[in-house]
Amino acid sequence: MINLDTPKKFRAFVGQANQVAAEFLRANSRKYDRAEHAYPKELDLLASLIDGMGDSGQSQGAGAAGVRRTDDGSGDTTVKNGTNLSSVLSIIEMCWGDVGLLLSMPRQGLGNSAIASVATDEQLEKFEGTWAAMAITEPGAGSDSAAIRTTAVKDGDEYVLNGEKIYVTSGDRADSVVVWATLDKDLGRAAIKSFVVPKSLPGIRVERLEHKLGIRASDTAVIVLDNCRVPAENLLGSPEIDTKQGFAGAMATFDNTRPLVAGMAVGCARAALELTRELLEDAGVVIDYDRPLSTQSHAAATFIQMEADWEAALLLTLEAAWLADNRKPNSVEASMSKAKAGRVGNEITLKCVELAGSLGYGETELLEKWSRDSKILDIFEGTQQIQQLIVARRILELSSSQLR
């Protein structure tokens, strides 16, 4: 039976994450928003602390977790609260501090989650400790990941990769990049595989860094692969092209990363709600949960409605992570959580700017920054529209060719 209260064993860890968010991430938020592309060196100490917690077995999901479907053979059917749930809970706290700085954390990239989800046991050991960015989007392939044109051609014990990837989070700072490429364009979705490409290899280069609306502390790169030769064992999962399975193997990565992004939106929106409540109460606005919204001020009624939307996003996000921990299918729930949290997260932060007036629009408070940061959370890892399309296909039991 699912219980979405914070598990007792995670409460101390969540408290620690909140403390880090308050004393470091929130404290440095404006500094690195203004210093775009400057690496937050203070993160190295924080990352070392998280690594140490992981080595000692005390991390409770501080690092990037994965969704793994294979049965361990134990036959254990007890309810588990594991690394997926604890990772989401910690990410909520950290993004309550700052989304851009969380995305800049060494060895905690979205590519690490892809490795954790898809890699074999041998690959997990091989890539342990790497900082991996994730490269999916291309100039001609955005929301439709199946339109990827980056190629991977087998040549002996290596694959030769050619193509261009855009909007690669941590693409400049990461040690390696998880690159999605096609083994055979004629076979469509089924031929798309992901490769761990170390940045030290010849043929991979950072073409430029993007200037962005939000998450400025995090670098976003354009990466070019020019006859980049990658060891064959760096192909994540099976190299076989299974036309029956289609795109499902590669897309399993998103079952993990979408709840994480949803958690980012939930954390950022909570920060905006908490500060807005303080500002409204200081201005004399009374928020009364025992009175109908129609009898309260517009500001109070709007705030209560935003809280309800936020609560729904939180519960969907926790459910998606809990299902992953208990090895239950969570693709629909992952998309639902990403769609709900991404949309209402951005709506909440923008509405908080509006309710706070000049304090919301100026740089005296962080509300304007949170509204900028939250927009990307409704876009990357699959846009709002794509998430709704995925959910509709599953509910109506239609294929991608039947419902576009």
DSSP 8-state assignment for residue 22:
I
Cα distance between residue 80 and residue 271, in whole Å: 29
C-alpha dist (Å) from residue 28 to 33, 102, 241, 247: 9, 12, 46, 41
Average pLDDT score over residue span 346-366 = 97
pLDDT at 71: 46
- Tell me which residue of 170, 347, 156, 322 sits closest to 255, measured CA to CA: 322
Mean pLDDT of the chain: 90
Q: Indicate if the pLDDT at residue 63 is higher than 70.
A: no
Within 10 A of 389 (CB to CB), how many other CB atoms are there? Answer: 18
Q: How confident is the model at residue 66 (pLDDT cuts 50, 70, 90)?
A: low
Output the CATH code of domain 132-234: 2.40.110.10
One-letter amino acid at 246 equals G
pLDDT at 245: 61
Q: How confident is the model at residue 72 (pLDDT cuts 50, 70, 90)?
A: very low
Supply 87's token pair: 């990772």
Q: Indicate if the pLDDT at residue 141 is higher than 70.
A: yes
Q: Indicate if the pLDDT at residue 246 is higher than 60.
A: no
Q: How confident is the model at residue 1 (pLDDT cuts 50, 70, 90)?
A: low
pLDDT tens, position by position, 113-122? 889 888 899 9
Percentage of the chain beyond pLDDT 70 is 91
Cα distance between residue 165 and residue 177, in whole Å: 10
Which residues in the chain are classed under CATH 2.40.110.10? Answer: 132-234
Residues 6 or more apart in contact with residue 289 via CB below 8 angstroms: 304
Higher pLDDT, 1 or 233: 233
pLDDT tens, position by position, 160-175? 999 999 999 999 999 9
DSSP β-bridge partners for residue 164: 224
Higher pLDDT, 292 or 187: 292
pLDDT at 220: 97
Architecture of domain 248-396: Up-down Bundle (1.20)
Is 233 among the catalytic positions?
A: no
Cα distance between residue 44 and residue 40, in whole Å: 8
Residues 6 or more apart in contact with residue 294 via CB below 8 angstroms: 301
Within 10 A of 363 (CB to CB), how many other CB atoms are there? Answer: 11
DSSP β-bridge partners for residue 231: 158
Percentage of the chain beyond pLDDT 90 is 73
Is 21 exposed, middle or buried, given 0-12, 13-18 or 19+ CB atoms closer than 10 A? buried
Average pLDDT score over residue span 346-370 = 97
- Tell me which residue of 22, 64, 81 sits closest to 257, measured CA to CA: 64
Within 10 A of 75 (CB to CB), how many other CB atoms are there? Answer: 6
Q: Indicate if the pLDDT at residue 56 is higher than 80.
A: no
pLDDT at 399: 87
Q: Give the position of tokens 């291309």.
A: 138
Give the largest CA-CA distance in the chain. Answer: 73
Which residues in the chain are classed under CATH 1.20.140.10? Answer: 248-396
One-letter amino acid at 33 equals D
Q: How confident is the model at residue 61 (pLDDT cuts 50, 70, 90)?
A: very low
Cα distance between residue 63 and residue 105, in whole Å: 10
Cα distance between residue 235 and residue 263, in whole Å: 29
Q: Indicate if the pLDDT at residue 25 is higher than 70.
A: yes
Average pLDDT score over residue span 232-240 = 92
Residues 6 or more apart in contact with residue 268 via CB below 8 angstroms: 95, 96, 99, 345, 349, 370, 373, 374, 377
Supply 46's token pair: 């924080």
330, 320 contact by CB (below 8 A): yes
pLDDT tens, position by position, 121-130? 999 999 999 9
pLDDT at 80: 85
Report the predicted TM-score, pTM, of the whole model to 2 decimal places: 0.93
> Coil, strand or helix: which one is 208?
strand
Q: Indicate if the pLDDT at residue 369 is higher than 90.
A: yes
Output the CATH code of domain 8-126: 1.10.540
Give me the catalytic one of 210, 281, 381, 397.
381
Cα distance between residue 159 and residue 181, in whole Å: 10
Phi, psi of 215 (to 5 degrees): 35, 50
pLDDT at 273: 98
pLDDT at 197: 98
Average pLDDT score over residue span 131-137 = 95
Cα angle, residue 378 at apex, residues 91 and 30 outer, rounded to 5°: 60
Which residues in the chain are classed under CATH 1.10.540? Answer: 8-126
Q: Give the position of tokens 């499902």.
A: 248
221, 171 contact by CB (below 8 A): yes
Q: Indicate if the pLDDT at residue 55 is higher than 50.
A: yes
69, 256 contact by CB (below 8 A): no
Average pLDDT score over residue span 256-278 = 96
Cα distance between residue 219 and residue 61, in whole Å: 24
